[in-house]
Amino acid sequence: MTKNNLIVFILTIGVFSILNTEMGVIGILPIVASTYNIEISVAGLLVSLFALAVAVSGPILPLLLSKYNRKTIMIISLGTFFVCNVISAFAGSFWLVLVARVVPAFLHPVYVSLSFAIASSSVSEKEAPKAVAKVMVGVSAGMVLGVPVMSYIANLFSLEIAMLAFALVNLIALALTIIYVPSMPVKEKMSYGSQLKILKDINLWWALIAVILLNGANFGVYSYLADYLERVSLLSTEFVSITLLIFGLANILGNVIAGRLLSQRPLSFVGIYPFLLTVLFLVMLFLGNMGFVIMGIVLIWGILVGCAANINQYWITRVASNVPDFANALFLVATNVGTCIAAFVCGIFIDEFGINNVVLGGILFTVLSIGFFFAGIKKSPKEKMLKVNKAV
């Protein structure tokens, strides 16, 4: 394994450890509620306040910390997650657990955005999307494996062991970073003002809106997928779990596929993606009530969602390639905003037309995204203009 490949691998482990902490707690909320004798809605604050902290710090902390040695920031981020997960394991109060969850959440967008920037700059310009896709695998794996694995550990052993399992993965990533990642001082320190100037670029706003809409299309519908599978596709609880696992594993495959396509024909791939997603939602609209057909649809959709994560990151960083840390932070903010808005809109479609028509919300968002993606493509007629920053 080459030095650069090793760094990308460590970044993937680090991102997995952070996403595992973020998503894994969803699988143990009932146990948290029982342990601390609180309502499940109160236990849900571990999820909602974590997400709020990510949204608040996303556009701020990566910018403020962009001048400092990147290895140092990585160590601080992973170290904070490790310590706070250990505190959570032995906390005697739910409110202490909540504080220990929220504190590291502020560093979530710092580490993740930094990982994307380092991965892309560790290889050639053409190979950058593949490197980012490998790190994206850590995101997908954290989302896919975090919930069932931590739920299994908590039920088999205890809540404390599950929290320590979070900490163990953080510790492994931290140790690998300390031992194998070289010092990464920022060679060209940019002022905060010079980085913020990118917000004046209309192309960035086209990209942000396109990403908000595209991510919203996928996760607005996905937010209600379990309910859809039960009530529309009439799948049993066991088959719902299997179908959701299929979705997650396909998501990982989508990352690999997207990395290759974005390296070879980025504009063509981005241009055709919203149309593919729209067609899939239409098929789901008319055939979603057929049990085994929906499993095939979800498999294809999982691959497309994995592709979307890479497209969204690529589309924003291509416009703001001179400020990679800030650009990746904006990517995280845009995807979270898209999810929140679309989940609300798709909820309205459910209230008005029923759960079987939730995909109409997804279709609405994909159709709207097409115009903004093509506005960006029109501004960049040459694929050679799609550059990835090399300043690490």
Distance CA 98, CA 46 (A): 6
Domain 192-385 has CATH 3.40.50.720: no
The amino acid at residue 1 is: M
Burial class of residue 61, CB neighbours in 10 A (0-12, 13-18, 19+): buried
pTM listed for this prediction? 0.77
Per-residue pLDDT, 382: 45
Per-residue pLDDT, 189: 67
CATH superfamily, region 3-180: MFS general substrate transporter like domains (1.20.1250.20)
The amino acid at residue 264 is: Q
Query: Using H for helix, E for strand and C for coil, what is the string for the chain?
Result: CCHHHHHHHHHHHHHHHHHHHHHHHHHHHHHHHHHCCCCHHHHCHHHHHHHHHHHHHCCCHHHHCCCCCHHHHHHHHHHHHHHHHHHHHHCCCHHHHHHHHHHHHCCHHHHHHHHHHHHHHCCCCCCHHHHHHHHHHHHHHHHHHHHHHHHHHHHHCCHHHHHHHHHHHHHHHHHHHHHHCCCCCCCCCCCHHHHHHHHHCHHHHHHHHHHHHHHHHHHHHHCCHHHHHHHCCCCCHHHHHHHHHHHHHHHHHHHHHHHHHHHHCHHHHHHHHHHHHHHHHHHHHHHCCCHHHHHHHHHHHHHHHHHHHHHHHHHHHHHCCCCHHHHHHHHHHHHHHHHHHHHHHHHHHHHHHCHHHCHHHHHHHHHHHHHHHHHHHHHCCCHHHCCCCCCC
Per-residue pLDDT, 134: 86
Distance CA 321, CA 136 (A): 18
For the record, the structure tokens of 41 come out as 């809605």
Distance CA 386, CA 273 (A): 18
* Beta carbons of 239 and 355 less than 8 angstroms apart: no
For the chain, the structural domain boundaries read: 3-180, 192-385
pLDDT less than 70: residues of the chain: 1, 188-192, 378-392
